[in-house]
Amino acid sequence: MNELDSELVRGQLAVMGYRFVDRPEAAQVLVYNTCSVREQAENKAYSRIGLAGLRKREGEQLVLAVIGCMAERDGADMIRRHPQIDLLCGPGELDRLPAMLDNALRQQVVEIADRIALQGSRSRRTATLSAAEDNLEFLDLSRAFDPDGAPAGGRAAYVRITRGCNKFCTYCVVPQTRGAEVHRTPDAIVDECRMLAERGVIEVTLLGQTVNHYRYVHGMALTVDGQEAPQVGPGGAAFRPGRASEPASDARRTTTFADLLRRIHDEVPAIRRLRFVTSYPRDFGDDILDTMRACPRICRYLHVPAQSGSNRILKLMNRGYTVEEYLAFVDRARSALPDVAISGDIIVGFPTETDEDFAATKALLRQVPFKNNFIFKYSPRPGTTAIERFPDDVPEAVKRRRNNELLALQSEVSAAVHREQVGRTVPVFVEQISAKSSRRSARDGAGGLGLTVHGRTLATVPAEAETIQLTGRTATDLIVAFDLPSGERADDWIGRIVPIAIHEAESLLLRGRVASARVNAKASDNAS
Ligand code: 5AD
Ligand code: SF4
- Which residue of 35, 167, 176, 381 sits with most ligand 2 atoms within 8 Å of its CB, as the best mutation to test the pocket? 167
Residue 204 near ligand 1, beta carbon < 6 Å: no
**40 CA from centroid of ligand 1 (Å):** 12
Rounded distance, CA 470 to CA 487, Å? 14
Which one of the ligands is nearest to 181 CA?
2
Mean pLDDT (whole number) for 351-376: 98
* Ligand 2 centroid, distance to 3 Cα (angstroms): 18
17-26, 117-126, 307-316: the lowest-pLDDT one: 117-126
CB 285 within 8 A of CB 238: no
User: Would you say the C-alpha torsion 328, 329, 331, 332 has a positive or negative sign?
Assistant: positive
Residue 307 Cβ inside 6 Å of ligand 1? The answer reads yes
Pocket test for ligand 1, best of 39, 167, 171 (most atoms within 8 A of CB): 171
Per-residue pLDDT band for 437 (boundaries 50, 70, 90) equals: low
Closest ligand relative to 303 C-alpha: 1
The residue whose CA is least distant from atom 9 of ligand 1 is 379
Give the pairing type, strands 301-303 and 341-348.
parallel
Share of the chain above pLDDT 90, in %: 59
276-332 tens-digit pLDDT: 999 999 999 999 999 999 999 999 999 999 999 999 999 999 999 999 999 999 999
Burial of 497 (0-12, 13-18, 19+ CB in 10 A): buried
Q: How deeply is 137 buried, as exposed, middle or buried, from its count of CB atoms within 10 A (0-12, 13-18, 19+)? A: buried
Quick check: 458 pLDDT over 80?
Answer: no
Ligand nearest to the CA of 347: 1
Residue nearest to atom 16 of ligand 1 (CA): 37
Which residues does ligand 2 sit against, CB inside 6 Å?
Answer: 165, 167-169, 172, 174-175, 209-210, 280
The minimum-distance atom of ligand 2 relative to the CA of 319 is 2
Nearest CA to ligand 1 atom 7: 172
- Per-residue confidence at 240, pLDDT binned at 50, 70, 90? low
Q: What is the pLDDT of residue 520?
A: 42
Answer yes or no: is the C-beta of 41 below 6 A from any ligand 1 atom: no
Q: From the CB of residue 242, how many other CB atoms can be counted at a distance below 10 Å?
A: 14
165 Cα nearest atom in ligand 2 = 3
CA distance 266 to 82: 50
Mean pLDDT over each residue of the chain, to the nearest integer: 85
pLDDT at 236: 57
378 lines ligand 1 (CB under 6 A): yes
Ligand sitting nearest the alpha carbon of 306 = 1
Residues whose CB is less than 8 angstroms from the CB of residue 142 and which lie 6 or more positions away in sequence, other chains included: 12
User: Closest by alpha carbon to 320, among 258, 257, 233, 237?
Assistant: 237
What spacing in Å lies between the alpha carbon of 377 and ligand 1's midpoint? 8
Cβ of 27 below 6 Å from ligand 1: no
Q: How far is the CA of 72 from the centre of ligand 2 (A)?
A: 17
Q: Which atom of ligand 2 is nearest to the CA of 168?
A: 8
For residue 347, the CA-to-ligand 1 centroid distance in Å is 6
**CA 21 to ligand 2 centroid distance, Å:** 34
**Ligand 2 atom at minimal distance to the Cα of residue 209:** 6
Ligand of minimum distance to the alpha carbon of 36: 1
Strands of 231-232's sheet in order across? 162-163, 182-183, 231-232
pLDDT per position as a tens digit, 134-179: 566 767 766 767 767 778 888 999 999 999 999 989 999 998 888 8
Mean pLDDT, rounded, for 216-232: 83
Which residue puts its alpha carbon closest to atom 14 of ligand 1? 345
Per-residue DSSP letters for 268-297?
A: -TT--EEEEE---SSS--HHHHHHHHH-TT
User: Is the Cα dihedral 310, 312, 318, 323 positive or negative?
Assistant: positive
Return the residue whose CA atom lies nearest to atom 1 of ligand 2. Answer: 172
What pLDDT score does 144 carry? 64
**Pairing relationship of beta strands 182-183 and 231-232 according to DSSP bridges:** antiparallel
3-state class (DSSP) for residue 132? coil
